[in-house]
Amino acid sequence: MLLASGALALVGASTARAATDERTILLGLWRREMNANLAYTQVEHVDRVFVPLRRHEFEHGQALATELAAVGLGTPARPKLEDLDATSERLARARGREEVVAAASDLEDELIGLYQHALAGLPDPKIAMTVATILASHAQHRVALGADALAGAR
């Protein structure tokens, strides 16, 4: 009986740790999406191709905010330019079409890697599906940016 209750306590601790990790992962993803949205806002005037990317980042943030609510967290305040991560800041400061495409491509590559890594830490299948869908969207962004760069080089 003591062994069984010890095993249950271990499972309970493991579940609590997974929930905490899930919250941390979701919060981190939300912040990165809001950073990306803000960065794309700074460069969308360079070319209309960046307008839907900015909008998608905002929509990703909204989807993640829904998941944050599902795990008992509220949505934090949106970031300001001075709060950007290094890759988003590079995009926000980029000038000229080639520099913006290169910075956006690097941002999308980083987001793809971040989402791939995040999926392993998400035990809830519904939340994992949301994250996988956003991952696929970032992969589409990356393909579009690559095709756009090729078209711009011609």
**pTM of the full predicted structure?**
0.83
The answer, yes or no, to whether residue 7 has pLDDT greater than 90, is no
Residue 151's pLDDT is: 59
The whole-number average pLDDT for the span 126-142 is 97
The answer, yes or no, to whether residue 145 has pLDDT greater than 80, is yes
- What is the CATH code for 20-153? 1.20.1260.10
Token duo for residue 109: 């590559």
CA angle 122, 128, 134 (to 5 degrees): 125
Q: Please compute Rg for the chain using Cα positions.
A: 18
The domain spans of the chain are 20-153
